[in-house]
Copies of this chain bind each other. A is one copy, B any other.
Amino acid sequence: MLEKMFNPDSVAVIGASRKEGKVGRAVLDNLMQNSKLKIIPINPKSDEILGLPCYHNILDVPESIKVDLAIIVVPAKLVPGSIDECGQAGVKNIIIISAGFKEAGIEGARLERECIALCEKYGIKLIGPNCLGIIDTASGLNASFAPNMAYKGNIAMMSQSGAICSVTLDWAERIGVGFSKFISLGNKAVLSENDFLQLFENDSSTAVIAAYLEGVKEGPEFIKIAERVSHSKPIVVVKSGRTAVGSKAVSSHTGTLAGSDAAYNAAFKQSGVLRADSIEEMLDYSRAFSVCPLPKGRNIAIITNAGGLGILAADACYYAGLTIASFEEKTVERLREKLPPAANFYDPVDVLGDASPDLYEYALDVVQDDANVDGILLLVSPQSTTDVPGIAEKIATTIKGSKKPILCNFAGGTRIALGEDILSKHGIPNYSSAERAVASMDALCTYYKIKNHKRGDPEEMPADREYARSFIESASKNKRRVHGLESMDILKAYDIPVVDARVAKDLHEAVEAAEDMGYPVVMKILSPDISHKSDVGGIRLNLKHADEVERAYNSMMSDVRHYMPDAIITGVQLQKMMSGGKEVIIGMDRDPQFGPLLMFGLGGTYVEFLKDVSFAVAPVTREEAKHMVSSIKTYPLIAGVRGEAASDIDSIIQTLLKVSQLVTDFPEILEFEINPLMVMPEGQGCVAMDIRFTLNLNE
């Protein structure tokens, strides 16, 4: 797939130009860096450009020349015509560099849809529009108007922003970092991140995948593909527009609908994508992946020639959840043998300010032999007698031959640059601070776990789907979007225990129901118009006999009428009062990108003020459901603390899986919440006390 896009024998440039400063010229210049490539300029006004025979139209190119790839740089309004001609000429791969499409407004969006339709008609693979182009260092193709060419390397990079491409290429040129493929995604009209993830997966020259994304095009598909790819290659993503403010900038930028950040976090976690917080971080991580073996654990050794740097690195390790390794005895002995007596032989190892390159190498050799060490941070400060380039030269060979990751922080400026250059010549990154080196070590450790983790398939939970389907159909017929208490049977269809409850249309029925169920009871208002019952006096707890039921009924009706005079009240519901349980919430919100986003949290104030909730995209696996429950900060409150009884965690997990199944089965459910789910002590299960959900009646 896409073989001829990235390794074409012949490339046509539609809108080629000889004029300096024109994109049509820059693209030609870049393509011409590869002398083996057949380049075909297309321009209605020229017969020759830069010594190349130029055709007036792609249809004029002789049949003997098979055009593998066409790059279009003509103004937006001319693009559909060009695609049509490419289609007729049998061109199957197109890059549209021109802007003026979806990102530019309504007319642009219409043009873009026209392009998509033409690509479908002719079976054309399309990159862009509104992009910088692509680079493939393995085939030697620079099909872009980027001012810098990339060095060869094993990092594949894709970016939804052309400017971020420029930034990255410019940075890479200065630091000496190489790429396998470099793709400017543009508006992703046809080909998107999902296609390129699969391309990179099978690309032998790619070892690391880096991406700057402002959104993903097909969320569920992205999760599936990324989950698979992340087992063979690390995927590092900067997803911008994380916030309300940022998102505003996104929509004015590329017209991508930015998904909620919680959904991205959940989706990335579930699919093994490493999320970087900035372009710098993305590149830092990618460089570590590009050269380092993976650490088998989180035990880190620090080697330094300065105590201060060692402390800063140890602090950073602590915050990242990395452990300062405890050395084997023999390591300490071997260090003591050769290091000066004032040195520190324990982690962090301080070889002292005047340590020679040989001593650094010795310490590194000894420490990497230690079975308790999974990864090493090597710190160098440029003190008066420090032989910076000497150290760089000595350790470079060791680092490249090591079976453990060794990340360097040569800290400083002028004198450090000499060492940095030597490391760079050996392809070894230098991190400008201990903190950055530690963050990358953390990424290596995290990816080791991702690579070796089997997600497995979500279980199919049994359910009475017939009932649920007919419920939704009937609601659709009756145009009932919002559902509450009165629809708890949909939970029963999914085998979720619900509280024993009766509906009563009037006071008489209410008392009868209460007497029948046994006291104490809870009374709740039944109204399609009321979402927050407690705000309008629509909930009464702990009613102990008929008198109390009567008093509660009357005052509830008067309160509710007072607050919401126009609400339709269909009656009340009486529930058996539960005690001894803890309230949790299970919710779902349908994310525009990823679909059903499950939420879990403790009830009441915990959710409201501490925002102590966890998310996952449904369908979730049992392991993911477990993690949702255990990852909230207030987990100890339900897991049992100080001899307090543990809640029935298993029943929560089971309910999460059932809700996951329900909202996956029925995309018509837009929002869904069991609030509260009352969880009883271990072994005693849980019951749903109240629900609320909204249907999309247009589906």
Interface residues of A (CB under 8 A from B): 21, 23, 26, 99, 104, 145-148, 159-164, 166-175, 212, 214, 238, 240-246, 248-250, 252-254, 277-280, 305-312, 314-319, 324, 342, 344, 346, 348, 350, 353, 381-386, 411-417, 432-435, 535, 605, 608-610, 633-634, 636-637, 641-642
In the assembled complex, 22 residue pairs joining A and B whose CB atoms fall closer than 8 Å, in A order, are A23-B384, A147-B382, A161-B309, A162-B306, A163-B306, A166-B306, A167-B412, A173-B414, A174-B412, A240-B315, A241-B315, A242-B319, A243-B318, A245-B314, A245-B317, A245-B318, A246-B312, A246-B318, A249-B310, A253-B308, A278-B316, A278-B435
A157 to chain B, nearest CB (A): 13
Complex alpha-carbon distance, A384 and B238, angstroms = 23
Complex alpha-carbon distance, A35 and B307, angstroms = 35
Complex alpha-carbon distance, A306 and B130, angstroms = 13
A76 to chain B, nearest CB (A): 11
Residues B411 and A307 in contact, CB atoms below 8 Å apart: no
A243's partner among B99, B162, B243, B315 (CB-CB below 8 A) is B315
Residues A164 and B308 in contact, CB atoms below 8 Å apart: yes
Residues A163 and B307 in contact, CB atoms below 8 Å apart: yes
A304's nearest neighbour on chain B, judged by CB, is B163
Residues A253 and B413 in contact, CB atoms below 8 Å apart: no
A637's partner among B172, B412, B605 (CB-CB below 8 A) is B605
Complex alpha-carbon distance, A278 and B316, angstroms = 9
For A168, what are the chain B residues with a Cβ–Cβ distance below 8 Å? Answer: 412
Secondary structure at the A interface, as helix, strand, loop or mixed, is: helix
For A432, what are the chain B residues with a Cβ–Cβ distance below 8 Å? Answer: 280
For A608, what are the chain B residues with a Cβ–Cβ distance below 8 Å? Answer: 636, 641
Residues A433 and B171 in contact, CB atoms below 8 Å apart: no
Residues B311 and A214 in contact, CB atoms below 8 Å apart: yes
A499 to chain B, nearest CB (A): 23
A633's nearest neighbour on chain B, judged by CB, is B610
A565 to chain B, nearest CB (A): 20
A415's partner among B148, B346, B382 (CB-CB below 8 A) is B148
A104's nearest neighbour on chain B, judged by CB, is B342
For A99, what are the chain B residues with a Cβ–Cβ distance below 8 Å? Answer: 342
A436 to chain B, nearest CB (A): 8
For A214, what are the chain B residues with a Cβ–Cβ distance below 8 Å? Answer: 308, 311
Complex alpha-carbon distance, A171 and B386, angstroms = 15
A563 to chain B, nearest CB (A): 12
Residues A353 and B318 in contact, CB atoms below 8 Å apart: no
A535 to chain B, nearest CB (A): 8
For A242, what are the chain B residues with a Cβ–Cβ distance below 8 Å? Answer: 315, 318-319
A433's partner among B104, B279, B609, B637 (CB-CB below 8 A) is B279
